[in-house]
A and B are shown apart, each in its own frame.
Chain A
């Protein structure tokens, strides 16, 4: 009872403090509390003091009212501080902990602050801070979990994507409640990433949310939900219905999602899509589908087009069939079954007839031949690859590259050299117009140097050392750079000669200088440090701190004795370059 009165006194004091103590004089609400306070004061003197303070307030004038109201406020507040309730009367249960296993929080504030700033703010340069922190294992700190989850919505989608794919999966299912709580099925990018992550972490538990997104989600969420249901037979009918959805993104996601099923209705749906605007996407799905019926139908359709190309005299119709054939061949990607290989080999046999179909600026017969060659080269059929290799002489230049790809997989290094080196080392007279021999030479050189997109295969495979000899002889720098080996005199000499020439001429600031040095470091070129230092000085002299940026990246990979040599030229360098140099040189020292 007494405490209730005290609370009333506090409420009235607060009211008067808000409204102004000018109004305190004769305040009837305060006045009526004096009696109960005095009564309580008979038992506890503190209430009598409060009663007196209230009396002072209600009897105050404009001048004295602030002082008296503050006196009353101080007294009542002090008493209230002693009356705080601490516990919770309600029933309490155990907390459901998580299996994070993150009990460490030994990240210093100096490290945390900029990272948290990067996670919470906007602006450039944040992804670098976040990824660097991730690589250093900083996210293994419980204080960063919520912030990392929130960063999935970052306005800069690369950060959202990075967080969703690189950082959050490591937290495991423990973040699921947080993800579910913040998921909005009507949302956009961040919420789509959230749904995909939830499904990745717990495909069964997140099913409800996925279904909700399918039913009533935004376009982005629908696409994400469909991608989550790739293997769900339970949702097949829904996925099939989405193949005809209004939104193109949804239709394509649905085609991708049903690709793994072989039910007749799926086959129908995929075949149906082949005739529409989504044909190319449907063909990617077809290539992943292993239904024999679908394959038969695909073979039938493709064969029809092949025959039409070969038989039709009408140019327009022939080109139409050729274009269709070119697309349909996409359905044979990663197929190594007998029927497919047999069809592709049949197609390949017709390469000369196909190559005759010309279409300036558009898809023509050689494009089809190249695609067929590519499919054979990437198939797992050794005999098909062998037929492709055997036919190398008859192949147009673009298709020759696929014979090289197949050769690298199946031939011995000696045979590979014997078969294909003549194209590379041939002396080809210059001539006007088409020059297939020259084109083939360039294809082989491009393949060896890795410029044509199959670089990983070239660099990984062990090649006959004669290739490097030939490249040195031809002064073919790109190929030498790709194939160079430590202690290869010819390569070492050519690389040195090239750098010297660049240093003497105007090439010292060329974009490829750092690539040259990278190769020299890789092959432990005896003069790599010397060349590096010379280039550093020349580049710095050309435009201080500008070109040298690319050279700085190489410093940590230089041999350790480079430190003293670089330090020796520091006095010749500009302040800007030295500023760039300090941290990387430290890295090299600490290596």
Chain B
């Protein structure tokens, strides 16, 4: 028996217009046939489309935690409006006739079941690698790193002060070649450098006054040293892999991802980067438009209720594929994840899951987060500094910090203080895409200034030499007060 309701179908849709179109198909009576299997594990139907022949769609719930949607329409949206409409018709109680599952669907079901079985069986077997292709790829990457080095050296030789619209455009053009050399991570690092010189309008040299160059040189130098470290470490890593084609992508550091390796979940499983029965609570969510990369990035910041590790989920939605990729959103419940795949990385690794069941957030969960938060600021600061000094480290790690007091200095700066009196100043610096949040602190009620837990993003300002924290939210005994969006 298929147990779905309208909100389930809404959440399965990739966007709002797919919901509307799916509902519209039912209302317009476009379904010429609505069928279900005898055991009610699959619904299938025939939907009238704009073309000559009708579309055959089905929603297979034989695996209810991961249903399979199939349709003969050419849409790249998944599930397409025809499958969504089919599910809406089911939830609206339309009459579905018991019918034999079409042979092609039956075949596909069998194939899928066989594939899953095979996947299960193969999961233990080592994956075959096309060594010649890998060799070629690594050589191309090494060449790409040579190009990156030449570009970076030219930039340093010429001086950051001479970066103008023309040179930045040239760098951007050459950065495209890094994409061809299978180095999207390096390409992004180079674009992050040129992005620093862009004005509010995203253009370099478009409105010079909008860019305070003096304020960005330190960050630009930091970015160049990062690219330098990427070249050095990347070259060493690739050389090692070239020498030993059986060597797997490195899991101790994020160098593989820096060089653009797109981790498959199966690879993560093979590498043992999997955790079972994890409960995650979202602490913050941000969706921003990355103009340089021409995509939207939805980032969720989560805390593991068992280990206290703060991790992130990321959905990249290129402009071209906006209709086909479901956007991320704030999540206010607890995500119960059977199998959590953890990407190699440092303090806030990226995580992903295929199946998740939500459950309501309870007071006990908030208390658990508070207990897991760092309450010894000195030790936490030491660990953060130790992490930041690595050139390829995440420069803005997120931590949960339990504070005894949140106060304000005479010049209006906010600070948090642990039980031993160690202070950390708060700031609005951090990731440019996140909105400022310090101004909201004055709007909080007094009880939030004592004995609470701050979710904060560390930021080291290289000019003022200050390591501060940007508030993202506050975890109280009963709730999570989000300060950003």
Stretch at the interface among B22-30, B235-243, B249-257: B22-30
Which residues 15-29 in A have Cβ within 8 Å of B in the complex?
A: 16-22
**B385 and A82: CB pair below 8 A?**
yes
| Contact flag A177-B329 (CB < 8 Å), given A14-B221, A80-B465, A88-B413 | no
Q: Does B174 count as interface, using CB distance less than 8 angstroms?
A: no
Residue of A81, A96, A106, A145 with highest tally of chain B CB at under 10 A: A81
Count contacts on B: residues with CB < 8 A to the other chain. Answer: 85
Give the chain A neighbours of B440 by CB distance below 8 A: 142-143, 145-146
**B409 and A84: CB pair below 8 A?**
no
Least Cβ distance of A105 to chain B in Å? Answer: 4
Name A84's closest neighbour in chain B (CB-CB): B467
**A78 and B390: CB pair below 8 A?**
yes
Which of A20, A74, A102, A109 is within 8 Å of B391, CB to CB? Answer: A74
Residue of A20, A83, A88, A581 with highest tally of chain B CB at under 10 A: A88
Which residues 439-456 in B have Cβ within 8 Å of A in the complex?
A: 439-446, 448-449
Least Cβ distance of A374 to chain B in Å? Answer: 50
Least Cβ distance of B259 to chain A in Å? Answer: 18
Q: Give complex CA distance A91, B423 in Å.
A: 12
**A90 and B409: CB pair below 8 A?**
yes
Secondary structure type dominating chain B contacts: mixed
Stretch at the interface among A36-44, A63-71, A123-131, A477-485: A63-71
**A87 and B423: CB pair below 8 A?**
yes
Give the chain A neighbours of B278 by CB distance below 8 A: none
| Contact flag A92-B389 (CB < 8 Å), given A20-B158, A86-B468, A578-B27 | no
Q: Give complex CA distance A16, B159 in Å.
A: 7
Q: Does B327 count as interface, using CB distance less than 8 angstroms?
A: yes
Name A72's closest neighbour in chain B (CB-CB): B225
Give the chain A neighbours of B68 by CB distance below 8 A: none
Which residues 1-55 in B have Cβ within 8 Å of A in the complex?
A: 20, 23-24, 27-29
Give the chain A neighbours of B330 by CB distance below 8 A: 106-110
Which of A7, A97, A116, A567 is within 8 Å of B444, CB to CB? Answer: A97
Which of A79, A88, A90, A570 is within 8 Å of B28, CB to CB? Answer: A570
Q: Does B407 count as interface, using CB distance less than 8 angstroms?
A: yes
Least Cβ distance of B182 to chain A in Å? Answer: 24
Residue of A17, A104, A116 with highest tally of chain B CB at under 10 A: A17
Q: Does A496 count as interface, using CB distance less than 8 angstroms?
A: no
Q: Give complex CA distance A159, B476 in Å.
A: 35
* A-contact bits for B152-175, CB 8 A (1 contact / 0 none): 111111111110000000000000
**A19 and B159: CB pair below 8 A?**
yes
**A19 and B408: CB pair below 8 A?**
no
Which of B161, B228, B445, B480 is within 8 Å of A99, CB to CB? Answer: B445
**B442 and A146: CB pair below 8 A?**
no
Secondary structure type dominating chain A contacts: helix
Least Cβ distance of A537 to chain B in Å? Answer: 15
Least Cβ distance of A556 to chain B in Å? Answer: 16
Give the chain B neighbours of A95 by CB distance below 8 A: 406-408, 414, 441-442, 444, 446, 449
| Contact flag A103-B153 (CB < 8 Å), given A94-B408, A177-B442, A582-B27 | no
Least Cβ distance of B416 to chain A in Å? Answer: 10
Residue of A86, A96, A579, A585 with highest tally of chain B CB at under 10 A: A86
Chain A interface size, under 10 / 10 to 19 / 20 to 34 / 35 or more: 35 or more
**A17 and B467: CB pair below 8 A?**
no
**B481 and A70: CB pair below 8 A?**
no
**A103 and B445: CB pair below 8 A?**
yes
Q: Does B485 count as interface, using CB distance less than 8 angstroms?
A: yes
Residue of A62, A66, A96, A578 with highest tally of chain B CB at under 10 A: A66
Q: Give complex CA distance A21, B29 in Å.
A: 71
**A77 and B225: CB pair below 8 A?**
yes
Least Cβ distance of B458 to chain A in Å? Answer: 9
Which of A87, A575, A582 is within 8 Å of B23, CB to CB? Answer: A582
Q: Does B431 count as interface, using CB distance less than 8 angstroms?
A: no
Which of B23, B385, B444 is within 8 Å of A84, CB to CB? Answer: B385
| Contact flag A103-B479 (CB < 8 Å), given A14-B221, A21-B159 | yes
Q: Does A453 count as interface, using CB distance less than 8 angstroms?
A: no
Least Cβ distance of A569 to chain B in Å? Answer: 10
Name B377's closest neighbour in chain A (CB-CB): A86
Which of A86, A108, A146 is within 8 Å of B424, CB to CB? Answer: A86
Residue of B386, B482, B484 with highest tally of chain A CB at under 10 A: B482
Give the chain A neighbours of B423 by CB distance below 8 A: 86-88, 92
Give the chain B neighbours of A411 by CB distance below 8 A: none
**A74 and B443: CB pair below 8 A?**
no
Least Cβ distance of B450 to chain A in Å? Answer: 9
Q: Give complex CA distance A74, B156 in Å.
A: 13
**A571 and B442: CB pair below 8 A?**
no
Least Cβ distance of A150 to chain B in Å? Answer: 11
Give the chain A neighbours of B388 by CB distance below 8 A: 81-82, 84
Q: Does B285 count as interface, using CB distance less than 8 angstroms?
A: yes
Q: Does A554 count as interface, using CB distance less than 8 angstroms?
A: no
Give the chain B neighbours of A82 by CB distance below 8 A: 385-386, 388-389
Least Cβ distance of B401 to chain A in Å? Answer: 11
**B409 and A18: CB pair below 8 A?**
no
**B152 and A66: CB pair below 8 A?**
yes
Q: Give complex CA distance A85, B27 in Å.
A: 63
Which of A19, A20, A96, A116 is within 8 Å of B442, CB to CB? Answer: A96
**A17 and B221: CB pair below 8 A?**
yes
Give the chain B neighbours of A65 by CB distance below 8 A: 156-157
**B443 and A77: CB pair below 8 A?**
no
Q: Does B217 count as interface, using CB distance less than 8 angstroms?
A: yes
Q: Does B301 count as interface, using CB distance less than 8 angstroms?
A: no
Q: Give complex CA distance A217, B462 in Å.
A: 44
Name A109's closest neighbour in chain B (CB-CB): B330
Q: Give complex CA distance A104, B154 in Å.
A: 52
Give the chain B neighbours of A113 by CB distance below 8 A: 287, 485
Name A78's closest neighbour in chain B (CB-CB): B389
Q: Does A512 count as interface, using CB distance less than 8 angstroms?
A: no
| Contact flag A77-B156 (CB < 8 Å), given A142-B481, A146-B440 | no
Name B445's closest neighbour in chain A (CB-CB): A97
| Contact flag A85-B156 (CB < 8 Å), given A97-B445, A97-B448, A582-B20 | no
| Contact flag A93-B218 (CB < 8 Å), given A66-B153, A142-B481 | no
A-B contact pairs, 20 of them (CB 8 A): A18-B217, A20-B158, A74-B229, A78-B389, A81-B385, A85-B465, A86-B423, A91-B409, A94-B407, A96-B442, A98-B443, A100-B445, A105-B480, A107-B330, A109-B485, A110-B330, A145-B440, A570-B28, A571-B28, A575-B28
Binding site for B on A (CB under 8 A): 7, 13-14, 16-22, 62, 65-67, 69-71, 73-74, 77-88, 90-110, 112-113, 116, 142-143, 145-146, 174, 177, 567, 570-571, 575, 578-579, 581-583, 585-586
**Given A99-B445, A102-B443, A103-B476; 4 other pairs, CB 8 A cutoff:** A20-B156, A93-B407, A95-B444, A570-B27
The 3 closest A-B pairs by CB, nearest first: A84-B467, A20-B159, A87-B423
Binding site for A on B (CB under 8 A): 20, 23-24, 27-29, 152-162, 217-218, 220-222, 224-225, 228-229, 285-287, 298, 327-330, 332, 377, 381, 385-386, 388-391, 405-411, 413-415, 417, 422-425, 435, 439-446, 448-449, 460-462, 465-468, 473, 476, 479-485
